[in-house]
Amino acid sequence: MTVTIVGSQLGDEGKGGIVDLYGDDVDVVARYQGGDNAGHTVVHEGEEYKLSLVPSGAIRGKVGVLGNGCVVNPRTLFDEIDTLQDRGLDPDVRIAERAHVILPFHRVLDGIEEEVKSESDQEVGTTGRGIGPTYEDKAGRRGVRVGDLLDPDVLRERLEYVVPQKRAVVEDVYGLDVDDLEDPDALDVDALFEEFRDFGRRFEAEDMTVNAGAFLSAAIDEGQNVMLEGAQGTIIDIDHGNYPYVTSSNPTAGGAATGTGLSPGVVGGGEIIGIVKAYLTRVGSGPLPTELGGVVGDTPGYDEQGEGENEELANYIREEGGEYGTVTGRPRRVGWLDLPMLRHSTRVSGFTGIAINHLDVLAGLDEVKVGHTYTLDGEELASMPATTEQWARCEANVRSFDGWPEADWQAVADEGYDALPENAKAYVEYIEDELDTPAYAIGVGPGRGETIVREQPF
């Protein structure tokens, strides 16, 4: 069977930790979208690992697959694999031949477009990893796929088509001189061919490429347990998120089918677990109706959002939760939990269960608030509107909960749900009731053991 892990908010909900928690019963972990924009922190035998491409389970000896829906930067991938090997691990990673390759010019174009957009306050605040430009080329049918790296003739043909176009974009659209770029080789066919053909040889030598759909289906037919690991989150989904402040893929559960080659029936026949952070964080731009503070990560075009209000509280939660980006180190914006957002995410992906993380971070506050509904143009909304402009005008109707005290969280996790402070239980039960979805796991700390496990999905 499959268990699909989906971020229910804006990324960084602690997906990696939950993938890891249920990892013991898993044979294969597959990513279905995104690339090295993702950042997961996983603690294994007291060691912390920060991974952006290698699926978290691979550090625990499981087979890790990067599905066809992913965009793969081989530089990052091999850096991560080499680093893990230096630390004594031997990750088994397979890559879909259909996955698209992030080439150096995709990063260059990501940077240029963000810069140009920033002149009119429209930048997305991307991770700069070239994610958007790579998916653009995929949709434009001019991308380079992992399978192409294995065939020198195909690789050269693809590069000879696409690179001159990208040079023209840099020079004629943006008016820049390629020779003035930090890495002019990013747009040099021969240099690209040489480097990426080498990656292709390594993929081949280490037998890393697979037909992901066939590989995963065979594993399921053999009775293996497959986990589908989403990166990012629902509100930065290109279709269901707050466009244009989104990533360029589908982190929602539908993406798990298209991004692996498993059928929707297979994915839907398994469990789909929504990962919920007990409050909100956001890196990058875009509105956030329940935002606290607003000085960090000002939102272009939405400067009125939460300006200055509760700045201290935002700083407190940011520090307690260590809310700085895994990939970019950027301080994350902070807000209260947003129920209209979660109702939307639950509907889009059909969560069969949720995991609520970071309850420990809120401990010690007198009062914990949530956005229960929105008011938009005098009307009460229980879910998110479809346009970002409308969302930016939504005012959160806040509900307040009594806070809960600090506790020995490891002991709480060991003892189980009953040991959770009463007020924290009331908070959890409110979320379960509103989403009509049971909490399978409750995170009370970053460590592997610091989770209350109520349900084993496999």
In the complex, which residues of this chain contact ligand IMO (CB under 6 A)? Answer: 7, 10-12, 37-39, 124-127, 129, 131-132, 231-233, 236, 245, 247-248, 283-284, 326
Instruction: By CB under 5 A, tell whether 17 contacts Mg ion.
Output: no
Vertex 452 angle, CA 292 and 353, to 5°: 75
Instruction: By CB under 5 A, tell whether 443 contacts Mg ion.
Output: no
Q: Is 134 flagged in the annotation as binding?
A: no
Smallest gap from Cβ 339 to ligand GDP, in A, equals: 19
Is the dihedral angle over the CA atoms 430, 434, 436, 437 positive or is it negative?
negative
Nearer to Mg ion, 84 or 163 (CB): 84
DSSP-derived secondary structure for 296-311:
TT--TT-TTTTTTTTH
12 is catalytic: yes
Nearer to Mg ion, 137 or 360 (CB): 360
Q: Is 330 flagged in the annotation as binding?
A: yes
Instruction: By CB under 5 A, tell whether 229 contacts Mg ion.
Output: no
Pick from ligand IMO, ligand GDP, Mg ion, none: which does 112 bind, CB < 5 to 8 A by kind? none
Pick from Mg ion, ligand GDP, ligand IMO, none: which does 124 bind, CB < 5 to 8 A by kind? ligand IMO
Q: Is 326 flagged in the annotation as binding?
A: yes
Nearer to ligand IMO, 188 or 291 (CB): 291
Q: Is 332 flagged in the annotation as binding?
A: yes
138 is catalytic: yes
Please tell me which residue in 62, 100, 106, 138 is annotated as part of the active site: 138
Instruction: By CB under 5 A, tell whether 39 contacts Mg ion.
Output: yes
Nearer to Mg ion, 328 or 375 (CB): 328
Measure the CA–CA gap between 276 and 133, rounded to whole angstroms. 29
Q: Is 444 flagged in the annotation as binding?
A: yes
Please tell me which residue in 12, 36, 137, 237 is annotated as part of the active site: 12
Vertex 29 angle, CA 23 and 34, to 5°: 125
A 10 A CB-CB count for 310 gives 18
Smallest gap from Cβ 176 to ligand GDP, in A, equals: 33
Instruction: By CB under 5 A, tell whether 254 contacts Mg ion.
Output: no
Pick from ligand IMO, ligand GDP, Mg ion, none: which does 250 bind, CB < 5 to 8 A by kind? none
Smallest gap from Cβ 445 to ligand GDP, in A, equals: 5
Q: Is 327 flagged in the annotation as binding?
A: yes
Instruction: By CB under 5 A, tell whether 14 contacts Mg ion.
Output: no
Q: Is 11 flagged in the annotation as binding?
A: yes
Q: Is 331 flagged in the annotation as binding?
A: yes
Nearer to ligand IMO, 67 or 200 (CB): 67
Can you name the residues that pair with 333 across neighbouring β-strands?
282
Nearer to ligand IMO, 136 or 171 (CB): 136
Smallest gap from Cβ 352 to ligand IMO, in A, equals: 21
Q: Is 308 flagged in the annotation as binding?
A: no
Give the DSSP H or E segment for 368: strand 367-376
Smallest gap from Cβ 128 to ligand IMO, in A, equals: 7
Smallest gap from Cβ 16 to Mg ion, in A, equals: 7
Number of alpha carbons in the 13 Å side-chain half-sphere of residue 176? 19
Are the beta carbons of 427 and 358 closer than 8 angstroms? no
Rg (CA), the chain: 22
Q: Is 386 flagged in the annotation as binding?
A: no
Which phi and psi (to 5°) does residue 253 adopt?
-60, -30
Are the beta carbons of 58 and 346 closer than 8 angstroms? no
Measure the CA–CA gap between 299 and 285, rounded to whole angstroms. 5
Interacting residue ranges for ligand GDP, rule: CB under 6 A = 7, 11-17, 39-41, 321-322, 326, 357-358, 360-361, 443-446
Of the candidates 126, 217, 110, the residue with the CA atom closest to the CA atom of residue 166? 110
Residue nearest to ligand GDP (CB): 443
Tokens 């297979």 belong to which residue? 266
Structure tokens at 106: 């995709």
Nearer to ligand IMO, 63 or 71 (CB): 71
62 is catalytic: no
Of the candidates 409, 419, 406, 411, the residue with the CA atom closest to the CA atom of residue 443? 409
Which phi and psi (to 5°) does residue 410 adopt?
-60, -40
Pick from ligand IMO, ligand GDP, Mg ion, none: which does 98 bind, CB < 5 to 8 A by kind? none
Of the candidates 163, 173, 174, 172, the residue with the CA atom closest to the CA atom of residue 115? 174
Measure the CA–CA gap between 334 and 231, rounded to whole angstroms. 19
Measure the CA–CA gap between 89 and 58, rounded to whole angstroms. 9
Of the candidates 195, 208, 214, 394, the residue with the CA atom closest to the CA atom of residue 288? 394
DSSP-derived secondary structure for 376-420:
ETTEEESS--SSHHHHHH-EEEEEEEE------HHHHHHH-GGGS
Smallest gap from Cβ 206 to Mg ion, in A, equals: 27
Please tell me which residue in 40, 100, 344, 369 is annotated as part of the active site: 40
Binding residues for GTP: 11-17, 39-41, 332, 358-360, 443-445
**Residues annotated as catalytic (active site), given as ranges:** 12, 40, 138
Binding residues for Mg(2+): 12, 39
Provide the binding-site residues for Mg ion, judged by CB under 5 A: 12, 39, 326
